[in-house]
Copies of this chain bind each other. A is one copy, B any other.
Amino acid sequence: MRLPASLHALAESLAKLPSIGPRQAIRLALHISTLAPDRASILLDQLGNALRITRCTICDFPFDGDGTHCAICSDDERTNSVLMVVEKETDLLSMEKVGRYNGRYLITGTLPRSGQFTDKQQTLIARVLSSAPQEGYSEVILAVAATPHGELLAQQVTAHLKEHTKKITRLGRGLPRGGEVEFADEDTLGYSLDNRG
């Protein structure tokens, strides 16, 4: 006995979604096939809604309702002269929770293995840049991960944006909240020394 072809097909599609492995995909397909009709129809409706969602014509962030711009790109109280570059939508959500940043965003998406932005990513970057102030940004903040991958992303973004901004900054590095000196790794301690003050 094998997994029925219809569940196998669903599992293969689910396994293509980010961070779902082939075994988890099979378990999910089996579980979904047992959903009660009311929960199933809710899930299908929600998927349909998600697929029809409006995206900001500047930054591509999804948003509810009418209009062409998301809440951030259409908010006149936010400054247009500072741009924060993040890799993922969830990075933006985390940063907004802090409530301390009042500029715009560019969500680049993950850099492909080639280390170069895809055509689609370049189009998005160009679109965001076209909404920059005429004199360019006063600051571009690279809010990328403190990892080698984040470093590479920062280099690529810098190459695309350096002509359009007065300065480029990076998120500060050092001890995280609760971080003990004894257990901090050497890089973190090095950062914390460089950034002392």
Query: In the complex the two chains form, is A90's CB within 8 Å of B30's CB?
Result: yes
Measured CA separation A27–B50 after assembly (Å): 12
Q: Does A43 contact B (CB under 8 A)?
A: yes
A32 near B50 with CB under 8 A, answer yes
Known: A10-B49, A13-B43, A64-B6. A18 touches B31 (CB 8 A): yes
Listed from nearest, the 7 A-B pairs whose CB atoms lie closest are A10-B46, A6-B49, A4-B64, A33-B50, A10-B50, A40-B51, A1-B96
A-B contact pairs, 22 of them (CB 8 A): A1-B72, A1-B92, A6-B53, A9-B46, A10-B47, A10-B50, A13-B39, A13-B43, A17-B31, A18-B27, A19-B24, A19-B27, A29-B50, A30-B62, A32-B50, A32-B51, A33-B50, A37-B51, A40-B51, A43-B47, A44-B44, A47-B47
